[in-house]
Each structure stands twice: as C-alpha cells, then as structure tokens.
A and B are shown apart, each in its own frame.
Chain A
Amino acid sequence: MKITQHSSANTLTLSLDGELDASSSVLLDSELAKPETLQFEKVLINCRNLNYISSAGLGVFISHLQQFQDAGVKLVFFNMQDKVHNVFEILGLDALMTIVPSETEATAL
C-alpha cells in the first residue's frame, strides 16, 4: 500500500495505491489519525488504484468517520473500482459514507 498526499487550502487528498488489508491498513490509520487532518474541510480519498479492501481497511474509515464529522471534516471517496465499491455495498456502508464517481464531483461537494 502506497499513500500519496496532496493538499490545497481546505482539502487533503489521499491517493491509495495497492491493497488495503489487515497488514497494510495500519499505515492508512496512522495517516488519518494525524491531528492536522482535522484542520481540513474535506478529506478526499482517491481510490483509482485501490485494488482491494478487507474489513480491516473498512474499519479504518469506520473508526475515524465520527471524529471527522464532529470536526466538520467531510470524508469523500472517488474513483472507486466496482469490486471495492461492492465490498462497501455488502455491508451497507455505501449508504453511510459519501462515495462519488469522480474527483470533479468530490471537489464540488
């Protein structure tokens, strides 16, 4: 798992590259737990190169979502591959998290 960061005035974009499982999710958890993450209005997760997610990866997002919401930070996923989106759907997480098709839509939110 490789995580690339890009930040502008009010938006932090994390591009995930690889597979998010019980081994690699620790890295993402550390990124999202950084206090400065809560300074942004939006945290965008670019999933174009995210090829796999297991419950450990989902758990990282589940565990940070409330803190983000409390701090007024919008968490938005975009460019999600069908097989990854399907895992969100199996649990019903697609209804609880904001997932949009493209970066344009993510930025416009």
Chain B
Amino acid sequence: MKNALRISCSRHNLKVVRDFVTDYLKAYQLPDLQLNQIVLAVDEVVANLIIHANSEDESQHLDLALDVSNKQFGIEIFDDATSSYAPSTYHEPDLQEYIRQGRKGGVGMTLVNRIMDRVEFSTQGRRNVCRLYKQL
C-alpha cells in the first residue's frame, strides 16, 4: 500500500491528497464520519501549507507519509518554507464575530485541533514538519 506522496504547492493537488488518505484508510473500514474527519484535517493543514506557507509556488513541494500502528493513524507533512506555523498564535474563533465581519478564513486549524488527538509542528534541520495523530 502506498503510504508516501509528494505534491507540488498547487491547491489543485488538494484532491490528490484527499484521495491518497482515503485510499490508504480504505483497508481499515472506518465509519464514514471518522474517515471524512481525518481526510478533512489533513486537507486543512495541506491547504495552509500550500497557500500560506508556500504562497502557491508550484516549484515547492510537500512530502506526506502516513501510517497506522496500534490503531493509531499518524501522518507527517514536510515542507521547506522559510517560515513555519506557530501553534502558540492559535486562538479559538468567535464565529458570530466572523459572520459579522464577513471573514472568509480562520477556522481551518480549529477543525484540525478539534478532530485530531495530537497536532505538532516542528522544524527538523531545514524542513518543517507537521504531525497529526488520531486513535481509530
């Protein structure tokens, strides 16, 4: 089973990433809602890395590697952007205020944090890595 994927930083590759995660998890016969949640969390992080960290520069790439062991889903997402996401900047959104302001963005990491059991961002040498974990 293919458990690694390299994509260029184009938002058109989001569907490729979702299919990759869905195909890998097919063997585990997860309930529809749980499968969709995991795919969504990965999609949100990858979209942020493509759009914000790498400014949709298609010469840049993301490397994804996923794994299930001891009934725990885990994925690593590597990128080479000079800046990386700082989880300490996260704050819970006030949705009513977002609606009032007509805001388009700002709820992606909320979904990720509420869906996954563990969300880690770090830098290894010159590469940034995001790791997401979820008990199945």
Contacts and interface: CB of A to CB of B under 8 A. Distances in A.
Interface of A: 19, 21-23, 29, 52, 54-56, 58-60, 62-67, 82-83, 86-87, 90-93, 96
Contact of B111 (A19, A67, A87): A87
Contacts of B18: 19, 21, 52
A92 B96 CA distance: 10
Given A22-B14, A54-B47, A91-B107, A64 B102 contact: yes
A47 B117 CA distance: 29
Contact of B11 (A23, A62, A64, A93): A23
Contacts, number: 90
Consensus secondary structure, chain A interface: helix
B126 interface: no
Given A23-B12, A86-B33, A86-B37, A59 B104 contact: yes
Nearest to A18: B15
Interface in B28-57: 32-33, 36-37, 39-40, 43-44, 47, 50-51
B77 to A, nearest CB: 15
B95 interface: yes
A29 B103 CA distance: 12
